[in-house]
Structure 1
């Protein structure tokens, strides 16, 4: 039986090291605490890294990362035929020797239960500690992504936008069940045969909060948010809208994760007339071709919003491209009350909320926001003149409601309910 020996890690060992790492994890598909790219980077930049070889073949590797008097063993990997032969213990002992020379006094290791190296650590005097919980937060935006995201006009949104959404609980619950939960609970979804969505459409009257929902989903997922404006795409490309759209999707493919939002998507996906001279024909065709490629990648979500789902091309609406077509309708009384409270702030306890809710029956969330600000400004202007210390009253807000033209009309509501029956897919 050939014998093994230990030596330093060399750059030429990289491919063999990755193969051993893959082979080591494959049987049980154990999670890696430290990604292989990070481990190999440490090994190549002088972190203690030792390999075991038989002849010219690598059969094992161990890597540590030192920080002052503390070090972490980040990898112990062995070829399957050389496990339980003392190679792992020897690799760890050699790492310890090198770490002591660097002044390290405390050596720790984080390994998945049952992973290669656990027995070797036990043999070398390491003891597992019960009662500890491993916490981790993964940032979805690397340095290279940040520059590209800035070029695309995207950004990482503040956390908490989802929880801050008040009102519209019916729509919020639907979006959470269909969109958010399968993406947040991927492992559980996979167990139940649920495929996380890749593309969805939100439709409803203007001002009902479709953009706010899209941003809140991005915030909840902690994914970068990029919004495409069809009018800007057309103005920013000498090759035309279809070319600009194709170039933008190519750039998006470089991001590790992204929520892409297209508002007023009917501008680039309207029903085609069938005539060769139709100016929108090529743009719609281009978008139809781009969506399947976008869907091929994990950690990507396309949300399109429209005020007129009936004007979209029928090919655009079919299930193969969009997983769900979700209505976002006007707020009911409970939702209007919650939205009023959000924008009234401290004034909510001083006014007759139910009168405001009743008076704003045909208002969208955007209409309520406008009326709330208008009422507050009326009281502010009065105070500037009178200095009487009189806060905004119910009357101030009711007058603001009366002066605000509601977005919703009976015809718009009728069409919205028709669209739910014809096109809704939740």
Structure 2
């Protein structure tokens, strides 16, 4: 048999690397690094190949991070094993990486890997009592520029768990949206099409925006909020700017796109002559089907006035679900109050009393009352009479009486009429 030779990787060797990759998997060994990572390192980092009669029979790929080097891929064709090719490739790769000033060269192997002689021969030692953890980063580097241009962002993990109470709404959103989108392959096996677009409706200040952000956080997808009022100043006009924005969103791999107060651009059409806004509504109705054809995306539209939306906008085939988001329940109000009461004062405040007194309050109403109580307590501390005047030590913080007084002076955003209309809309418009 003619001898093999070791040389540097060349772009024409991609097919040979791919063949070695597929051959490794066929033997039951799942490589630690993905194929895209291996191919990227071949072209951007360091790689050598073993060649026999112009055929690629082995490859070794490495990358460096500061003084730490990693073997990303090492494979020898089945027909050329036990010829010392692996050891020779490792030695050649280490020689090429030596000028980088590495102090350590490491490799991760799947527990199904049987042939480790090449590593032992080159002086690699097995490290005991180590665990390997990995986490898939949902947004790739090449997406970040597009996301930045759109004004989008990656939201912190944990927003979903930070929503206290609202169990019925959270369970519905978890089952209908998060679960099928996060497990799309499994959903497909059961014949479930993951949702592409939903409408959240309910009285003002009930947390629809918070839920949209929490969904993005739960999925670990990019979050892009579209502001029609900002797009209106675009030279292309609102309809043109809306179209261009969604064309840019198509460059993202995963995205939750949020439009708040969507009634501004999806009003009932009609009347003579047609209004300029009708053209915007028509454009949005064209955008949604195209958006739905793109996987790993979710359009969330929120409205305080579900009845004002154009009837064609809510039609089946455009939105999978029309979900009501109501006022916070008892557990949710307790969670909201606990968030706004200073930690030093929390133990002394009768939170259950505040929860009872704020039945019918929105989260925004509770925040306003909490801030009003804190402001009153601060003023009392700063402007106390006598020796404590101006010392700031007259009070340790707001008391139950401060909060009850603030609640009494706070007008609930959602009137009884609006609450009743919301219940009617649940029966006639909601689609769960």
TM-score range, shorter chain: 0.7 to 0.9
Contact 1:225/1:261 (CA < 8 Å) preserved in 2?
Answer: yes
Contact 1:6/1:91 (CA < 8 Å) preserved in 2?
Answer: no
Instruction: Determine whether 1:11 maps to 2:31.
Output: no
Secondary structure of the residue aligned to 2:161 is helix
Contact 2:25/2:31 (CA < 8 Å) preserved in 1?
Answer: no
Counterpart CA distance in 2 for 1:300 and 1:280 is 26
Give the equivalent residue in structure 1 for 2:34: 35
> How far 1:382 sits from its partner (Å)?
1.1
Mapping of residues 368-387 of structure 1, within 5 Å? 368-386=366-384, 387=388
Contact 1:157/1:219 (CA < 8 Å) preserved in 2?
Answer: yes
Secondary structure of the residue aligned to 2:319 is coil
Contact 1:76/1:88 (CA < 8 Å) preserved in 2?
Answer: no
> How far 1:305 sits from its partner (Å)?
0.8
294, 300, 306: which one aligns with 2:291: 294
Secondary structure of the residue aligned to 2:313 is helix
Per-residue displacement from partner, 1:319-338 (whole Å, max 9, x unpaired)?
A: 42222221110122332222
Aligned-pair RMSD on alpha carbons? 3.2
175, 180, 183: which one aligns with 1:182: 180
Give the equivalent residue in structure 2 for 1:256: 253
Give the equivalent residue in structure 2 for 1:245: 242
Contact 1:53/1:60 (CA < 8 Å) preserved in 2?
Answer: no
Q: Relative to 1, partners in 2 of residues 1:27 and 1:285: Cα closer, same or farther, differing over 3 Å?
A: farther
Counterpart CA distance in 2 for 1:30 and 1:405 is 66
Instruction: Determine whether 1:315 maps to 2:333.
Output: no
Mapping of residues 193-208 of structure 1, within 5 Å? 193-208=191-206
Counterpart CA distance in 1 for 2:290 and 2:382 is 58
Q: Relative to 1, partners in 2 of residues 1:207 and 1:3: Cα closer, same or farther, differing over 3 Å?
A: farther
Secondary structure of the residue aligned to 1:200 is strand
Mapping of residues 339-378 of structure 1, within 5 Å? 339-346=336-343, 347-378=345-376
Give the equivalent residue in structure 2 for 1:121: 116
* Superposition TM-score, scaled by structure 1 size: 0.85
* Superposition TM-score, scaled by structure 2 size: 0.84
Give the equivalent residue in structure 2 for 1:281: 278
Task: Tell which deviates more after alignment, 222-231 or 121-130.
Answer: 121-130
Counterpart CA distance in 2 for 1:88 and 1:421 is 72
| Runs of 5+ consecutive residues of structure 2 not aligned to the other structure | 389-393
Counterpart CA distance in 2 for 1:198 and 1:4 is 57
Instruction: Determine whether 1:86 maps to 2:85.
Output: no
Per-residue displacement from partner, 1:341-394 (whole Å, max 9, x unpaired)?
A: 222243333223233223222211111111111111111111111043263222
> How far 1:220 sits from its partner (Å)?
2.5
Counterpart CA distance in 2 for 1:345 and 1:192 is 48
Counterpart CA distance in 2 for 1:173 and 1:147 is 34
Contact 2:259/2:301 (CA < 8 Å) preserved in 1?
Answer: yes
Instruction: Determine whether 1:49 maps to 2:48.
Output: yes
Counterpart CA distance in 1 for 2:289 and 2:25 is 30
Counterpart CA distance in 1 for 2:83 and 2:256 is 46
> How far 1:312 sits from its partner (Å)?
1.9
